[in-house]
Each structure stands twice: as structure tokens, then as C-alpha cells.
Chains A and B, each alone.
Chain A
């Protein structure tokens, strides 16, 4: 009976009860690979907020920080301002293309190894085995009547899960504030309400998704398996059962003549974290965690058959093998045009982002022309325009900058907080570290022959003539 059939509602009911799954422990190449990936991803998640990165006295020293209050994003030596959000958009594009690339090359590797749902579910499964024992012990415990010992085990298990959930949610908030200070405030009950609420919500979702819902998240909630159906083709690597080799199945020691390699030990079903039978072919619920490969290889070794009855393979290769041809080498799968196209696309976006990052100026000017009134006639017939300028100093030090005007001879320029007598060809401003200075600027000029004259403002750092930004605007006046 398949996993899906298990989930069918009884008596035509409207919902299906979640069938309990007790995956058996297994060891092998892919299991060890999953250990390493789990260790690496969890380490990155928990350790990153605690890394320090010196940015001088005017900026935080946390290596990775999403400072929502001040609208800054810090990533080691990179600082992103809100108007540079396209870098984040670019990273998302890379992540999207990266998923296509990974899917094209190695199928659902993301689902099987790196997805947080998989990593945390894996962690929860290990905790469960540590407390309740392996599959058989878990089944026995489930069927046993309630006793103090069973209650104690359940309490310990759910307590451990909740603790992991709490640590998971707890780690998340440190990405949004100075980690040591926040930890101190958090433990003393002085952290913002939103911090406690976030930890609470993430504790709950981690506990529910990792402990209670598990494969249901993948099968019912996640859109990715559906998208996968469109992404995979006959040349994508998937975990597959080689039925041409395994069928017809034999049972135990009674191997009849002409029987396949599959001894129907059901080990592959017992280790599966989503409770499916891989021998029914590729299916939506398979996250390609490859644990069935490990356990099947173990069984094949015991019965003296070659490994790989269940293995990573493409459908194309399987068909070739079934027909007696040699398997398609994996290098050919990895270097097919579609995969190379994704590699190229991914690299292009990445290079473009790095180029943009390397060439961005840390001094930025925006100019807004007053819209009401567009212009003002002065008593001597001159025309005055007003502009709101924003000087962004994106470096973590105060900076002196010069503002100059081009395109309008005979014009006088002055800061609105000064008297007109302070008018000069160049205005000097000191912009505090890592902040925006907003000023209102007046331009006064004799009436022009045209009602709208193109002009330009240029801001230049006093300490570096190359740190410069020019913005075009207009000088408006009456039609005369």
C-alpha cells in the first residue's frame, strides 16, 4: 500500500488523518553527507549573527545585520541602503536561477539536503530516536497503553522539540539587532515586544512544522514540488528504483529462478521520512533525501548483489540500462546545454551585481524641484526656483561636500536657511556619517528667454574629487 493511499480519508470523509511515520535510522554515504550539510547549515544559521566586523565608530560592528529601524543592511564589508534594494532583488534572481540550475543538474537536491524544513525535520527525528529509540521501539511505544513512563518520554520529547524551536526562533531575532545587547535585554525581559513575539511565533512554527507536520509541509503546503514537475525532465537526476533490475521481487531466502534483485525487505519504505515507497516510481512526495539508496545498498551488500538497485539516475539512463546499453555517464548529465545555460545566466547576474557593487559611489544626490509654486517672480523681475536636495553620505564617517551648479550663467545659489547675501557659486555642506542631509536650495536668475532651462547639480566630496554625483533638473520660469 502506498503512502498516498494511507492518507486517504475513511468512509469518504472530508479530511485525512496524518498517518504516523516512524523512519528507521540508517547509515551510509548519503546519510553522512546529510550530516555534514545539516552541521554546516545550522552552524551558519546560529553563528552568523555573532560574527563581528569593524566598521569604525559610526556604524554597528555586527557582520550581518538587518537594521530595520535605521533602514540599513550590513553584510560584512557591504552596506546596503534602501534605495539600493536592487542588490537584494538581484540576489533573489540569483537564488531563483540557482534553484533552476540545481534542479536541472541534480534534481531536488534542495529539498533533500538544504531546505530548512528538511534540516529541522531531520534534527527532530534524531531527537525523537534519541529519546524513544529506533522505529520499532517508537511503534511499540505508540501502541503501548499510557503509563507514567510513556508520559515522561512524551514530555521529554516535546520539551526537547520546543527547546530546539525556542533556540531557532531565538537565533532569528539576532539578525535584526546587535546580538550581545539583544541577548542581554532578552534575558532581562527588556527586549522589544516584537522580539518576544517573533521568538514565540518561530518557536511555534518550528515545533509544529518539524515535530508534528513534517512531510505534510512538503506535500500540502510547499509550492516547490509542483514547480518541480515542470522543471524535471528525463535527463534530470532523481532517486529512482531500477525496476528492470529489481523485478520480479523475491522474498527472503526463497529466491526463485529469474527473480530480480529486490528482496522486498521494505527497508527503503521504513527509512523514508515522507513514508513513500520509491519502488512505485518518481512521485511528488519524494524529496530525494537518498536515505533509501543508503539502506538498499546495505541490503544488496548483505545478499551479495551489486549496489545501486535504488540510486541517483536519470530516466534516460534507466531506459538505456533497461535496454542493455551502458548507463549514461553522470558527467554528460551535468554538462548538458540546459544546465550550462543556467550556469551562464546565474554567473551573468552575479557578475553584473558584483560590477555594480564595485562601481557604486558612496555619495549620492537627489534633487526635487518645488512643484508649487514652480517659480516665483521677484520684485526686480528676477525669477527664483527652489529645490529640495538630499545629500546621502553612505560612508561611516562625516564628510564635507561641495554643491555646484551648471547650465545657468548669472544664477545665484544659496541655502534657504541662510540669507540671500550668502549666495555663492559653490555651497559647502557637512553631512554626518551614514546619513542623509536634506536642504532647500534657492536659485535666482534674471528671467530667461525660454520657460524651462536644463540645469545640473553636482555634489563632490571635499576629500575625493572622484566621489561625485550629478543630477539633472530644470530651471522654470514664465513664458515671455
Chain B
């Protein structure tokens, strides 16, 4: 069979063929310093492999998305797409996890064995769910930022055992239009005229005294009386806070909005009340349990 059907060079046919004497092979007619390029034919198996690859490429282009158009690519006869494949795999993964998810949803997260296999799965699931739902505010490592609590430490506004964390995630904090959400309201002492700016500075001095950032002063002494009258109802007479109202402990080293004079002045003048969504409205019970277990596992859980 003559295989020169595709690429035969008519130009060469018209000129005289040059045959290399030593090998009997035709040359390309190129010559460099007396060295001529032989037109040694390809081995048959190689050529057929090459043709097979071309055929495969054509078939592949027809069957699968291949040719880019303006806004999308050709879809291919098989209708395959990476997106639908991902969807299938996600459904398969969900189906595979269904038993565990059901068990997690049914479990009482407050009393679940902390060393059991189910707890391990719960924490692992929470790690993934946290990155999707919570990381935008609390950060990927749950370290928080100004106004968004660090969930790694041992300081909790509303309580750090699993029941309290579960309650917080399920119903949120100061979620509007919710009767079950955690609710409290710090007065804007300066803006609403409860305290004068000078009195506020005195309270700032007292708060910095109890948090051991400053030593005693006349201002702090005046502030102590003001604190007892205006702040102790929520933050406690010892300023150690009250989790009933989400009132932070003012004597420790952790400050959600900053512990310097300027930040404290702003806080007392305008008040602070952070908001967190009630995730029970958006996530299923299994995911809420997972998030509870994960947050509790970060090192500060009680």
C-alpha cells in the first residue's frame, strides 16, 4: 500500500530525486557543509499510532467540551461538564455521609463523649462548616478581629460550654425579630447624656485600674462610684462581667473593642452591641452541632 497519499510532494516529483549512496535513502535536498538530510521514513507502527491519536482527538472533540466560543465552549455529545460532575460527586459524598450526619443531628451535643469517634467526625465536619459560614467574621482560624470575638481563647461573653455555644449559634445574638435570641443592650452613656464626658473619663480610669493597666488615681476613685451606680448592674460589682447579659469581664486581658483610653471612651460614649445571625434559621441541626463541637474544641471550651 502506498502511504504517500496525504503528504506527497509534487515539487519533488518534478525535480530529480537525490538518493544517498551509502544508505540508498532519498534525501531532502538540504545540505550543510556536505552533510545531507536523509528522508528516512517513519516506522509504520509509529505512523499508525500518530493517525490513531488524530482520530482520538477528533472523537474527543465531538464527545467532550472542546472548542471555545464567545461566552462558553461547545458542550459535546456526551453532555459532560466539570460542574455536573462536581454536583454528582457532592451528592455521592452527602449520601455516603448520611448515616453520620443523622447520628450527629440526633446527638445531644452537650453530653456527647468528647473522646468518641462520633465527636471526631462532628469536629471535623464543623471545621469545614466554619470556613463556609463563620470565617467571614471570625476569621479562618477563628481568631476574630475587633468586634468579632476570638473563639480560641478562654474568655466567653455568653458562656463557653457546649450547651451555651450551641444556644448562641442556634439563636444568634441580638438577631432582629427573634424572641429566642440572646439579647442585651448597653446604654450609650455619653450620646444619651447619662454621663458627662468628664465622668466618662473617670469611668475609663477605673476600668483601666481594675484591668491592671493603670495604677490608682483620683479619677479612678471618682470612676469607682460612677461604675457602681451605672455599670455594676450588668458588669458586676467586681467588674467580672455577667454571662446572662453577655456583659464582658473587664478585669481580664482580653478586649473585644480595645482596652486603651480612646477605645474605652468610645465604647462608653456610644455603647457596643455586636450582632450575630441565628444560624438555626439557615443551617440544619447536624451542622449546628458540628459548629458547636468545633468551636468548643478550639482550646477555650469549658
When distances are taken between beta carbons in the complex, the residues of chain B under 8 Å from A17 are 44
Considering the complex, give the chain A residue whose CB is closest to the CB of B156.
A379
Q: 1/0 per residue B114-155: CB within 8 Å of A?
A: 110000000000000000000000011111000000101111
Q: Given known contacts A15-B46, A379-B253, is B299 in contact with A417 (CB within 8 Å)?
A: no
A4: B residues at CB distance < 8 A: 23
Query: Which B residues are CB-close (under 8 A) to A9?
Result: 41
Contacts of B24 in A (CB 8 A): 1, 5, 8
Residue in contact with A417 in the complex, picked from B44, B114, B252, CB distance below 8 Å: B114
A386 at the interface (CB under 8 A from B): yes
Q: Which A residues touch B115, using CB under 8 A?
A: 417
Indicate if the CB atoms of A5 and B23 lie closer than 8 Å: yes
Closest to A384 in B: B299
**Chain B residues with CB under 8 A of A198:** none
Q: How far is the CA of A88 from the CA of B92 in the complex (A)?
A: 38
Q: Is the CB of A14 within 8 A of B4?
A: yes
- Find out whether the CB atom of B43 lies under 8 angstroms from the CB atom of A376: no
Cβ < 8 Å to A, chain B residues 59-91: none
Residues of A within 8 A of B43 (CB): 7, 15-16, 18, 216, 220
Least CB distance from A477 to B in Å reads 12
How many A residues touch B, CB cutoff 8 Å? Answer: 33
- Judged by a CB distance under 8 angstroms, whether A2 is at the interface is yes
Cross-chain contact B45 with A216 (CB below 8 angstroms): yes
The yes or no answer to B106 lying at the interface (CB within 8 A) is no
Contact A380-B253, Cβ < 8 Å, known A370-B141, A372-B141, A416-B299: yes
A381 is an interface residue with CB less than 8 A from chain B: yes
Q: Is A305 an interface residue (CB 8 A)?
A: no
What residues on A are CB-neighbors of B143 within 8 Å? 372-373, 376
Return the chain A residue nearest B119 by Cβ.
A417
Q: Is A463 among interface residues, defined by CB-CB distance under 8 A?
A: no
- A16-B44, A216-B43, A380-B252 known; A373-B150 Cβ under 8 A: yes
Q: Report if B40 contacts A (CB, 8 A).
A: yes
Question: At the interface, yes or no: B287 with Cβ under 8 Å from chain A?
Answer: no
Determine if B261 is an interface residue (Cβ-Cβ < 8 Å).
no
For residue A213, which residues in chain B have a CB less than 8 angstroms away from its CB? Answer: 45
A15–B154 CB distance below 8 A: no
Contacts of A14 in B (CB 8 A): 3-4, 7, 41-42, 47
Q: How far is the CA of A380 from the CA of B300 in the complex (A)?
A: 13
Say yes or no for B2: interface residue by CB 8 A criterion. Answer: yes
Name the contact of B41 in the complex, choosing from A2, A13, A378 (C-beta under 8 A).
A13
Which of chain A's residues have a CB closer than 8 A to the CB of B139?
Answer: 372-373
Whether A8 and B25, one on each chain, are in contact in the complex, defined by CB atoms closer than 8 angstroms, is yes
Q: Which one of B12, B46, B300 lies within 8 Å of A220 (CB-CB)? A: B46
Q: Is the CB of B141 within 8 A of A373?
A: yes
Bound form: Cα–Cα A2–B25 in Å:
12
Q: Find B140's partner among A2, A7, A372, A417 (CB 8 Å cutoff).
A: A372
A384 to B17, CA, bound (A): 84
Contacts of A16 in B (CB 8 A): 40-44
Q: Which residues of B contact A145 (CB under 8 A)?
A: none
User: Complex formed: what's the CA distance from A380 to B211 in Å?
Assistant: 10
Asked if A442 is at the interface (CB within 8 A of a chain B CB), the reply is yes
Residue B161 interfacial (CB < 8 Å): no
Known: A5-B23, A373-B143. A378 touches B154 (CB 8 A): yes
Closest Cβ of chain B: how far from A15's Cβ, in Å? 4
Is A307 in contact with chain B by the CB < 8 A criterion?
A: no
Q: Chain B residues with Cβ under 8 A from A373's Cβ?
A: 139, 141-143, 150, 152
Docked Cα-Cα span, A16 to B152, in Å, equals 73
Q: How far is the CB of B45 from chain A (nearest CB, A)?
A: 7
State the total of A-B contacts with C-beta under 8 angstroms. 99
In the assembled complex, B105 has its CB within 8 A of some CB on chain A: no
A377 at the interface (CB under 8 A from B): yes
| Shortest distance between the CB of A20 and any CB in chain B (Å) | 13
Pairwise interchain contact A8-B40, C-beta atoms closer than 8 A: yes
Give Cα A379–Cα B297 distance, bound, in whole angstroms: 17
| CA–CA, A9 and B26, complex, Å | 9
> Restricting to A362-418, which residues have a CB under 8 Å from any CB of B?
370-373, 376-381, 384, 386, 416-417
> Does B108 interact with chain A (Cβ within 8 Å)?
no
Residue of A4, A17, A370, A373 ringed by the most chain B CB atoms within 10 A: A373
A384–B42 Cα distance when bound, in Å, is 69
- How far, in whole Å, are A458 and B300 apart by their CA atoms in the complex? 26
Report the minimal beta-carbon distance from A164 to chain B, rounded to whole angstroms. Answer: 21
- Please report which residues of chain A, range 166-190, place their CB below 8 angstroms from some CB of chain B when the two chains form the complex: none
Q: Which of A12, A15, A220 contacts B26 (CB 8 A)?
A: A12
Chain B nearest Cβ from A376, distance in angstroms = 4
In the complex, the chain B residue whose C-beta lies closest to that of A16 is: B41
Cβ-closest chain A residue relative to B47: A15
Chain B residue contacts of A27, Cβ below 8 A: none
Cβ of A376 and Cβ of B253 under 8 Å apart? Answer: no
Q: Is the CB of A8 within 8 A of B23?
A: yes
* A11 interfacial by beta-carbon distance below 8 Å: yes
CB < 8 Å neighbour of B153 from A5, A13, A15, A378? A378
Contacts of B46 in A (CB 8 A): 15, 220
CA distance A378 to B150 in the complex (A): 10
Asked if B254 is an interface residue, CB under 8 A from chain A, the answer is: yes
**What's the minimum C-beta distance from B59 to chain A, rounded to whole angstroms?**
21
Within 8 A of A (CB), among B188-222: none
B contact residues around A371 at 8 Å (CB): 141
A260 to B222, CA, bound (A): 126
Q: How far is the CA of A269 from the CA of B3 in the complex (A)?
A: 30
- In this assembly, does B249 line the interface, its C-beta being within 8 Å of a C-beta of chain A? yes
Q: Which residues of chain B from 258 to 279 have any CB-CB distance to chain A below 8 Å in the complex? A: none
Is the CB–CB distance between B299 and A379 below 8 Å?
A: no
Asked if B249 contacts A379 (CB within 8 A), the reply is yes
Min CB distance, B227 to chain A, in Å? 20
Closest residue on chain B to residue A17 by CB atoms: B44
Asked whether A13 lies within 8 Å of B299 as measured between CB atoms, the reply is no
B1-44 interface bits toward A, Cβ cutoff 8 Å, 1 = contact, 0 = none: 01110011000100001000001111000000000000111111
Closest to B7 in A: A14
Q: Show 9 A/B contacts (Cβ-Cβ < 8 Å), sorted by A.
A: A5-B24, A8-B41, A12-B39, A13-B4, A16-B42, A372-B143, A377-B153, A380-B253, A416-B297
Given contacts A8-B23, A376-B152, 20 further A-B contacts (CB under 8 A): A2-B23, A12-B8, A12-B17, A14-B7, A14-B41, A15-B41, A15-B47, A16-B40, A16-B42, A18-B44, A372-B139, A372-B140, A373-B141, A376-B150, A378-B253, A379-B153, A379-B249, A379-B252, A379-B253, A442-B299
Give 5 closest A-B pairs by Cβ, nearest first. A372-B141, A9-B41, A373-B143, A379-B252, A381-B253
Give the A-binding residues of B (Cβ under 8 A).
2-4, 7-8, 12, 17, 23-26, 39-47, 114-115, 139-143, 150, 152-155, 249, 252-254, 297, 299-300
